[in-house]
Structure 1
Amino acid sequence: MIKSMTGYGKGEAVSDQGRFLVEIRSVNHRYGEVSVRMPRGFLAIENDVKKAVGQVLKRGKIDIFILWEEAGGTATIPQADIALAQGYAHLFRTLAADLGMTGDLPLQLVLAQKGVLKDSASAEIDEHDYLPQLLEAVQEAVATIDGMRGREGEALLSDLADRRRQVAEWAEQVGNRAPLVAGEYRQKLQTRLGQLLEGAEVDPTRLAQEVAMMADRCDVTEELVRLASHFAQFDEALLLDEPVGRKLDFLMQEMNREVNTIGSKSSDAEITSLVIRIKAEMEKMREQVQNVE
């Protein structure tokens, strides 16, 4: 059954060390694009998170937000990199001398430099020790969003199936109407020629040739046969237990091409009206297909 590409999921995993909170949001996208926002201390296991999510969510723009809270929320005393601080202090004093500047070097300036102060707890973290707990939260979030995408997919399936049946009904009306057009054209042409020739006899051979040429130009049998084939493939795709969004999008393009050809061939007002209805309904189908995984 088809799934939507839009959804939201949330997962949590708690241990003695702390708590992981994971949120996943997904929207439409032509391909599968996964991005992760997580604490810098856990960046080494980012690919493990992407892999776990990608095994379930195959398509869409997927944003993952990961929050880590240490147990107890106790503050830790940072550690100072003395050598790095001395290097910054020497650099600043040298620059001040070169620029002819005087005054004391503020301690805050040195402490503000990257790497001078380090979180003592984070320095001891081995990211891979936390991976099982993180994946537990990720899998819970993935299961939630996958369920939501599945429920939205059921609504998409119902809507697309209904619209496809309506389009097929109108296409059948085109097929029923098309054979009658040549006969009506013959009658109209014969009447007009009779009026123009003021009652003189019309050459039946020439009339038959003209009608045959018109019927050939307006013949949409091949287009209707291909359209029916696309309908069947569309119905089959809707029931597949795999991502079919791209296949449905391709089929919509092919269906639209056949309908455009029917419209360009037809000079009959009734068929033209049906083609307009079909194209309007297919545009709504195309918009829905854009959200299918």
Structure 2
Amino acid sequence: MTAFGQGAATVGRRTWSVEIRSANHRYLDLKIRLPQPYAVLEGAIRREVETEYRRGHVEVDLNLNDRDQAKTKPVVNLPLAREYLRGLQLLRDEFSLADRPSLEMIKDLPELFRLEETTTDPEDEWPQIRQALSAALINTRLMREREGFATKCELIKRLAKIRRNLDQLDSEIPSIAVRRKARLQRRLTIMLNGADIEPTRLAQEIVILTDKADISEELARLTSHLDQFTVFLAAHEPIGRRLDFLLQEFFREINTISSKINEAGVAQLGVELKNEVEKMREQVQNLE
């Protein structure tokens, strides 16, 4: 699942914009890109994002559009201005001049004014940045929820198909047991080649071997896993990892069934079940 969200906040002529992109990942892999002065806010941004994401590859980009052209401000060199005025006063007194020292006399003198680059404290701008970040997170969440709902609907369809296959397999257990018992009896008769073995003992051995091939327990566990899977799908909380674990259990039980029953029909059902489970595992990666 991929998701995208944007958010913005404007104060005066400054606009902060946040873009968030996310994709599937087993764990949370968070990358935050900020303008250099705002690097101090990375921790705060990370905490906000982690309230929404528990896993996934997430990229957060913060950008500032500053339409204020005044990047510097003039600063008066007051100590130097005092020295200039004191010097003019000395000249006036020394030469008995009539004019009094004034601003007009000193305003163009060297280094009386200097330009300083305007700076802002990123911490002061955090409320606006947080507002833009929250909007981006909400928009990303809405997209993820839409895709998550579609994914859950698809998973429910596949669950129904798996249940039908299991019901079919369950209905065939009696006939599978009969066929297996007959095959075992033929094989043992050939292997024994007329050896003197009591029929009762032979029947017991056949029952033991037939029981070892019984798949009732595997089918029961698979049904239980399916029920649990359905419960998780209805939960309003992160379920991706739990569903992935259950699907691993699906695979284990299906492999056991396939190894116990060496019949073409069962083998085909096993292949179909594995295909469905594999598709479900791919889709579960889209869920948090």
1:252 counterpart SS class:
helix
2:242 counterpart SS class:
helix
Matched AA of 2:50 = G
Please report the RMSD computed on the Cα atoms of aligned residues, expressed in angstroms: 2.8
Matched AA of 1:285 = M
Selected match of 1:57 from 33, 53, 57: 53
Deviation readout 1:199-244 (Å, 9 max, x if unpaired): xxx9743552343133112111111111111111111111111111
Q: Distance in 2 between matches of 1:49 and 1:192?
A: 71
Matched AA of 2:117 = S
Decide whether aligned partners of structure 1 residues 131 and 281 sit closer, same or farther in structure 2, where only a CA change above 3 A counts: same
What is the CA-CA distance between 1:33 and the residue it aligns to?
Answer: 2.4
Conservation of the 8 A alpha-carbon contact between 2:185 and 2:206: no
Q: Does 1:161 pair with 2:161?
A: no
Q: Does 1:149 pair with 2:144?
A: yes
Q: Does 1:281 pair with 2:272?
A: no
Q: Distance in 1 between matches of 2:191 and 2:127?
A: 90
Q: Provide the TM-score with structure 2 as the length reference.
A: 0.77
Matched AA of 1:281 = E
Matched AA of 2:15 = R
* Aligned position for 1:127: 122
Deviation readout 1:112-152 (Å, 9 max, x if unpaired): xxxxxx9812xx21111101110111111111100000000
What is the CA-CA distance between 1:188 and the residue it aligns to?
Answer: 4.9
Selected match of 1:14 from 10, 16, 38: 10
Deviation readout 1:246-285 (Å, 9 max, x if unpaired): 1111111111111111111112222111111101111101
2:172 counterpart SS class:
helix
Deviation readout 1:23-59 (Å, 9 max, x if unpaired): 0000111112222101111111121111122212232
* Aligned position for 2:222: 227
Q: Does 1:30 pair with 2:45?
A: no
Q: Which runs of 5+ in 2 are unaligned?
A: 75-114
Decide whether aligned partners of structure 1 residues 209 and 8 sit closer, same or farther in structure 2, where only a CA change above 3 A counts: same
2:30 counterpart SS class:
strand
Decide whether aligned partners of structure 1 residues 76 and 38 sit closer, same or farther in structure 2, where only a CA change above 3 A counts: same
Q: Distance in 1 between matches of 2:122 and 2:191?
A: 92
Decide whether aligned partners of structure 1 residues 231 and 77 sit closer, same or farther in structure 2, where only a CA change above 3 A counts: same
* Aligned position for 2:43: 47
Matched AA of 2:172 = R
1:56 counterpart SS class:
coil
Conservation of the 8 A alpha-carbon contact between 2:32 and 2:42: yes
Q: Provide the TM-score with structure 1 as the length reference.
A: 0.76
Q: Distance in 2 between matches of 1:126 and 1:161?
A: 51
Conservation of the 8 A alpha-carbon contact between 1:7 and 1:26: yes
Conservation of the 8 A alpha-carbon contact between 1:38 and 1:65: yes
- Structure-to-structure mapping, 1:1-293, within 5 angstroms: 4=1, 6-72=2-68, 74=69, 76-77=71-72, 120-121=117-118, 124-188=119-183, 204-205=199-200, 207-293=202-288
Decide whether aligned partners of structure 1 residues 226 and 194 sit closer, same or farther in structure 2, where only a CA change above 3 A counts: closer
1:130 counterpart SS class:
helix
State the number of aligned residues: 247
Matched AA of 1:135 = R
Higher relative contact order (CA 8 A, sep 6+): 1
Q: Distance in 1 between matches of 2:192 and 2:54?
A: 70
Q: Distance in 2 between matches of 1:263 and 1:280?
A: 14
